[in-house]
Structure formats: C-alpha cells, structure tokens
C-alpha cells in the first residue's frame, strides 16, 4: 500500500470538549477506507479535518507527503459528498454536475460533465431536471459533481443514509464498482457496521474520539481486540473464563462449556491475569437436530426464545452455569424443523471460534 494520507498525533478540541484524541493513521492510495463508530465518536470531525473544513488543535495532517496545515479545503486534493447531497432541484443534471467546475474555467464543461455522468451510470441524463430524479439517482449526481475535478481523495459523509434499505444495498455495490473503476481513495463515514464491512478495504472503528481498532473487515469481525469493538461489529455471546497461559496460547475453563485450549491468535490482545471473557459469534454455534451426529463439542440446552427470519432462525438457548442464554443463528434448511420455546436441544460449538478477551479489556 502506497501511503497517501498521514495523520500523526491529531487532537481536536471544541472549547473544552476533546473530540479527537491522539489519532495516528495512514490511508493508502486507491484504498476504500471507512470510519465507523457510534453517534458522536468523532468520525465526521476526522473526515472534516482531512477535508480542511476543521483545523486540528494539535498534530499533523499530510496528503501526498505535503503538510496540509494552513491549506484551505478548496486547495486540497480532496472532495466531499455530503449526506444531504446538496443537489439544486431547479437545475438540470448537467448544471448540477457542472457546479463542481465553477472555479475552473479552463476545463471544457460539456466533455467533463459527460465523462463524469457516464462514470456514475447516468450517461444521457444531462437535460433531466434534478427534482425529477430518484434518491439513488440524486446520489449519483452528487458523486459525479464531486468526481468531476478528479480529486485524489473522495470523502463521503454517510452518503447512503437517506436511502431505503434496498436502494442502499444497491448503491453500496455501485460505490464499490465506482471506486475500483476510478481507482482513487475513498474515505467513508458511516455508523452502519454492515455497510463498512461490505465496502471497505480497511475500517477504523472509533469510540469517544479514539480509534478502537483499525483492520480489514474479516479481522474486525473474527478477531475484535476488545468487547467494545466486538459488540459494535455484530452480535457476540460472552462467557466468563478462567485463564491459564500455556505454551502456545491459553488453557481455559469456560462457564457453561468447560475446559478448552485456545491458540494465542484467538486472543487478539494478550490476557494478563487469570480472569477472561470468551466471545462466540451466534453463527459459530449450531443446534444438533434429531437424527444428526457430530464429532464436535456439545452442550445440553433448552430453547428460551425463537425469532424466525425466513432464511435464518435466531434462537436463545439456556445452558447450565450461564445466566444469559446463548444467541444462536441457524440457517433454515429443508428437513430441519423450527424448534419451539421450551424444547430441549443440544448446542454444537467449536473451540476454534472462541475469541478471548481480558475481563477488564
Ligand atoms: P454522528 O454519527 O452523530 O454524526 P460523529 O461520530 O460524526 O457522529 P462528530 O460530528 O464528529 O461525531 O462529533 C463528535 C463530537 O464533537 C460530538 O460530541 C459533537 O457534539 C462534538 N462537535 C462536533 N462539532 C462541533 C462543533 N462545531 N462545536 C462543538 N462541538 C462539536
């Protein structure tokens, strides 16, 4: 990865409020990078800091090896797509897109607009009135306008949040294709973990102005470094565990499951002391149905709650020695019944799916 954007020791205060705390970050050329986190964690502030709409209180922001201190937003090699699109409804599509060129009389408008519109799949829409477009099409006009100046970095602040679920999923795929096609760096702000997982090469998960973990989607999901990240990225069951360091990992005694050994890699951060918590994603657990056998580990349980989703059923299953029922996601397969509340069952679990956390981590 060739670095394009570097942030070193970035802090941002709004008065007394410490909105960004010691951010160190490198974003690569051509990378699809996401800033993900709950409301108020500072992701928009970080994006605006890169764009030049906010000044940093302390630290370095460099783009292409150049310190951006004192460089105003319009002179940075970045462009921003806002949540609201900021499309002018009384103008045509072409006029909206050409608005991105207002300070560049040197560029031939018509060719640039045609090129930008074809990039976002709206070739031939030049004359259409902007108010006569669907939400998804408006979003594409906003993208075309932001891309027309061929920035090195496109900054996207919750660009899909105004769209309905189906349209959002469609635009996610389109944005990935667009990013691959144009090859420039995209930085996306989102509070939607699924959106970040689907779209990004790498994701920075933020909490309270800090980066909690920076990794690719699979690492974040399978090896979250602490419970806060684990809980933000999807669902996870947590069970108390006694921990003994072993030669190549840890020996554990897990509440409800018993004795098991795990590899060092299953504890993304080293565990100090003897108190731990193990995490298990709902889809790594299975139920054993009548007539089925397994060589894997089993524990007896009882169905406490059933939520049927069509393709999946989510079960809460009580096991002995654990207060909170285990959440288990089962794919619905022909020939397997949906169990009723109260039914006895057996839970199949795989020690390799355990993630070990420090209890205080
Ligand atoms: P959301 O998803 O809700 O937009 P966010 O993670 O993008 O949240 P930011 O907009 O970056 O969060 O805001 C981070 C914190 O800084 C919030 O507590 C917010 O209230 C505060 N903040 C943001 N802008 C300002 C400002 N101009 N003046 C004072 N406080 C601000």
Cα–Cα distances (Å) from 192 to 76, 180, 257, 305, in that order, read 28, 21, 32, 26
Take atom 24 of ligand 1 and give the residue whose Cα is closest: 45
Q: Mutate which of 15, 40, 190 to test ligand 1's pocket (most atoms within 8 Å of Cβ)?
A: 40
CA 189 to centroid of ligand 1, rounded, Å? 13
CA 46 to centroid of ligand 1, rounded, Å? 10
pLDDT digits (tens, 9 = 90+) for 309-361: 999 999 999 999 999 999 999 999 998 999 999 999 999 999 999 999 999 87
User: Domains in the chain, ordered, with CATH?
Assistant: 3-227 (3.40.50.300), 281-350 (2.40.50.140)
Strand order in the sheet with 202-207: 78-81, 153-157, 185-190, 32-36, 202-207, 210-215
Cα–Cα distances (Å) from 231 to 35, 219, 282, 328, in that order, read 16, 14, 12, 15
Nearest to 188 by CA among 67, 27, 323: 27
Query: For residues 277 and 141, what is the distance between their CA atoms, to the nearest angstrom?
Result: 48
Predicted local confidence at residue 84, as pLDDT: 65
pLDDT digits (tens, 9 = 90+) for 171-229: 899 889 989 988 999 999 999 999 999 999 999 999 999 999 999 999 999 999 999 99
Please say whether the dihedral angle defined by the alpha carbons of residues 223, 226, 227 and 230, taken in this order, is positive or negative.
negative
Q: Where are the alpha helices (DSSP H) in the chain?
A: 43-51, 93-98, 109-119, 135-147, 165-182, 193-199, 217-222, 227-232
Q: Which atom of ligand 1 is nearest to the CA of 14?
A: 29
CA 40 to centroid of ligand 1, rounded, Å? 5
| DSSP 3-state of 194 | helix
Task: Provide CB contacts within 8 A for 281, sequence distance 6+.
Answer: 221, 222, 234, 235, 236, 237, 353
| DSSP 3-state of 266 | helix
pLDDT digits (tens, 9 = 90+) for 13-55: 999 999 999 999 999 999 999 999 999 999 999 999 999 999 9
Take atom 14 of ligand 1 and give the residue whose Cα is closest: 42
pLDDT digits (tens, 9 = 90+) for 263-283: 999 999 989 889 999 999 999
CA 44 to centroid of ligand 1, rounded, Å? 7
Predicted local confidence at residue 95, as pLDDT: 93
pLDDT band at residue 162 under the 50/70/90 scheme: confident
Q: What angle do CA 66, 67, 71 make, to 5 degrees?
A: 105
Strand order in the sheet with 237-246: 258-263, 249-254, 237-246, 275-280, 355-358
Query: For residues 85 and 198, what is the distance between their CA atoms, to the nearest angstrom?
Result: 22
CA 45 to centroid of ligand 1, rounded, Å? 6
CA 20 to centroid of ligand 1, rounded, Å? 10
Q: Which atom of ligand 1 is nearest to the CA of 54?
A: 27
Q: Which atom of ligand 1 is nearest to the CA of 35?
A: 6
pLDDT digits (tens, 9 = 90+) for 59-110: 999 999 999 999 999 899 999 987 666 788 889 999 999 987 877 788 888 8
Take atom 1 of ligand 1 and give the residue whose Cα is closest: 39
CA 162 to centroid of ligand 1, rounded, Å? 19
Query: For residues 108 and 230, what is the distance between their CA atoms, to the nearest angstrom?
Result: 50
CA 39 to centroid of ligand 1, rounded, Å? 8
Asked if 42 contacts 208 with a C-beta cutoff of 8 angstroms, the reply is yes
Please say whether the dihedral angle defined by the alpha carbons of residues 227, 230, 233 and 235, taken in this order, is positive or negative.
negative
CB neighbours of residue 88 within 10 Å: 13
Predicted local confidence at residue 82, as pLDDT: 78
Q: Mutate which of 13, 36, 44, 47 to test ligand 1's pocket (most atoms within 8 Å of Cβ)?
A: 44
Q: Mutate which of 23, 41, 155 to test ligand 1's pocket (most atoms within 8 Å of Cβ)?
A: 41
pLDDT digits (tens, 9 = 90+) for 99-152: 878 777 888 888 899 989 988 888 999 999 988 888 888 888 998 998 888 899
Take atom 9 of ligand 1 and give the residue whose Cα is closest: 42
Tokens 């684990």 belong to which residue? Answer: 230
CA 233 to centroid of ligand 1, rounded, Å? 21
Radius of gyration of the chain measured on its C-alpha atoms: 25
Ligand 1 residue neighbourhood (C-beta within 6 Å): 14, 17, 19, 37, 39-45, 191
Cα–Cα distances (Å) from 20 to 16, 203, 300, in that order, read 12, 17, 47
């Amino acid at each position: 990865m060739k670095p394009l954007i570097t942030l070193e020791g970035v802090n941002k205060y709004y008065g007394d409020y410490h909105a960004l705390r010691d951010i160190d970050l490198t974003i690569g050329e051509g990378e699809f990078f996401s800033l993900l986190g709950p409301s108020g964690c500072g992701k928009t502030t970080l994006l605006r800091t890169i764009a030049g709409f906010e000044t940093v209180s302390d630290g370095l922001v460099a783009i292409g090896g150049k310190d951006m201190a004192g460089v105003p937003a319009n002179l940075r090699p970045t462009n921003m797509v806002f949540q609201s699109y900021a499309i002018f409804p009384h103008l045509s599509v072409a006029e909206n897109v050409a608005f991105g060129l207002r300070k560049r009389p040197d560029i031939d408008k018509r060719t640039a607009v045609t090129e930008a519109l074809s990039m976002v799949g709206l070739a031939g829409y030049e004359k259409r009135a902007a108010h006569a477009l669907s939400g998804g099409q408006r979003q594409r006009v906003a993208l075309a306008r932001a891309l027309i100046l061929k920035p090195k970095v496109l900054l996207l602040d919750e660009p899909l949040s105004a769209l309905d679920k189906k349209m959002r999923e469609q635009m996610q795929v389109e944005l990935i294709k667009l990013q691959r096609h144009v090859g420039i760096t995209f930085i996306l702000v989102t509070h939607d973990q699924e959106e970040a997982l689907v779209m990004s090469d790498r994701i920075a998960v933020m909490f309270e102005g800090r980066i909690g973990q920076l990794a690719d989607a699979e690492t974040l999901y399978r090896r979250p470094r602490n419970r806060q990240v684990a809980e933000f990225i999807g669902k996870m069951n947590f069970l108390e565990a006694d921990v003994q360091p072993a030669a190549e990992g840890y020996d554990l005694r897990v509440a409800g499951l018993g004795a098991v050994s795990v590899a060092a890699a299953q504890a993304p951060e080293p565990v100090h002391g003897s108190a731990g918590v193990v995490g298990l994603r709902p889809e790594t657990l299975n139920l054993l149905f009548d007539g089925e056998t397994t060589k894997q580990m089993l524990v007896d349980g009882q169905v406490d709650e059933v939520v049927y989703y069509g393709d999946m059923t989510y079960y809460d299953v009580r096991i002995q020695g654990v207060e909170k029922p285990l959440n288990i996601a089962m794919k619905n397969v022909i020939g397997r019944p949906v169990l009723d509340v109260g039914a006895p069952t057996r839970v199949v679990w795989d020690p390799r799916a355990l993630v070990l956390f420090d209890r205080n981590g």
